[in-house]
DNA sequence: GTCACTGCAAAAGGTTTGCAACGGA
DNA sequence: TCCGTTGCAAACCTTTTGCAGTGAC
């Protein structure tokens, strides 16, 4: 089994991502409003993980509640992922629904997203060792990106 | 390379863990006080991840600041680990310093701790694929424990 | 005796909620 | 028009901080 074939980096292109979210909102019966559009635009402007409060700070003309509610909606549907920084603060990044892993640069904060799963074999191994029926996992990697090493 | 040999479950036995923390405090030059002892005792009574506020609630005779400060000290030194529950709240569990992974039961909240690292090979693989110099990672697994499946 | 630790109480900071007005579909 | 959405402001909750008193070594 070739693991590298299972884990391809996924780029989040602002326009593509925004359009995809809009489509997801439509098919979910959610309304596409101007405040929500502003939230999407602000999210894709971030190049590193951001907090809810930082996102709100970028949106002076949008209500705090709207920012928090929209962010929560995007998070629960997978369009925004939560990054657990090493020993630091958690943050959010634009992502895609489904099973993703994140590689975070400890220097500049850049995040590379991986689709597909590289640890299935290990999960099987651990399931055998323990008496657990393993259902899911969280994997995040930390390092230095090409520019920062 | 035998991965199973590298990942043995580590049990946290209340008395052993408490004694080990006490020893660590001593060699770090920290004072062993009654409030701190109470915090240790309360931590080992939890069988599932707990929040700072939950810990404080178990310690009516101890000041909030002391609970938070002691918990933080234990967390930064690795005697308490932070668990990122799937889509839920984060929590703390007694653990041991060093590189550990956690397997969490999504039903009862029980946590199994693994020492050693099961993903080194994958890290090498990903380092080759990306231009990142990978330095660390976070891996948590979710499933159903023997009792709950 | 010294100095780290404690605990109160207040401040700070982030997130949630109620509700009247608004505006997409 | 209808009903989901917005935004304000207040409430809420968790965590941090200042500081005088306390107690471990």
Q: Which nucleotides of D are covered by protein (CB under 7 A)?
A: 4-10, 13-18, 23-25
CB of A113 closer than 8 Å to CB of A10: yes
| Chain-chain contact of A141 with B134 (C-beta, under 8 angstroms) | yes
Check if the beta carbon of residue A51 is closer than 8 Å to that of residue A92.
yes
Cross-chain residue pair A146–B132, CB shorter than 8 Å: yes
How many residues in total does chain A contain?
A: 149
The distance of Cα A83 from the centroid of its chain, to the nearest Å, equals 7
Q: Per-residue pLDDT tens for A8-56?
A: 789 999 999 999 999 999 999 999 999 999 999 999 999 999 999 999 9
pTM value > 0.85: yes
For chain A, say whether B51 makes contact (Cβ under 8 Å). Answer: no
Q: For chain B, which domains are there? A: 8-143 (1.10.10.10)
User: In sequence order, which ranges of A12-105 are alpha helices (DSSP H)?
Assistant: 14-27, 34-45, 52-57, 64-76
For residue B114, which of B143, B148, B74 has the smallest C-alpha distance?
B143
Walk along chain B (149 residues) and give the pLDDT tens digit of each residue.
444 445 778 999 999 999 999 999 999 999 999 999 999 999 999 999 999 999 999 999 999 999 999 999 999 999 999 999 987 789 999 999 999 999 999 999 999 999 877 788 778 888 888 889 999 999 999 999 999 99
Read off the pLDDT of residues A63-119 as tens digits, 9 standing for 90 and up: 999 999 999 999 999 999 999 998 778 999 999 999 999 999 999 999 999 887 778
Asked whether the beta carbons of residue B130 and residue A103 sit closer than 8 angstroms, the reply is: yes
Check: CB of residue A118 under 8 Å from CB of residue B122: yes
């Amino acid at each position: 089994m070739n693991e590298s074939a299972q884990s391809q980096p996924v780029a989040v292109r602002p326009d593509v991502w925004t359009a995809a979210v809009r489509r997801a909102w439509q098919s979910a019966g959610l309304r596409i409003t101007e405040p929500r559009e502003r939230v999407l635009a602000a999210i894709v402007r971030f190049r590193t993980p951001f907090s809810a409060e930082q996102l709100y700070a970028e949106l002076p003309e949008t209500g705090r509640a709207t920012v928090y509610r929209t962010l929560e909606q995007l998070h629960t549907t997978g369009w925004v992922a939560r990054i657990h920084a090493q020993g630091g603060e958690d943050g959010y990044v634009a992502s895609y629904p489904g099973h993703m892993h994140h590689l975070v640069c400890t220097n500049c904060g850049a995040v590379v997203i991986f689709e597909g799963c590289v640890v299935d074999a290990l999960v099987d191994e651990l399931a055998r060792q323990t008496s657990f029926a393993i259902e899911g996992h969280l994997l995040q990697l930390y390092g230095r990106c090409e520019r920062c090493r």
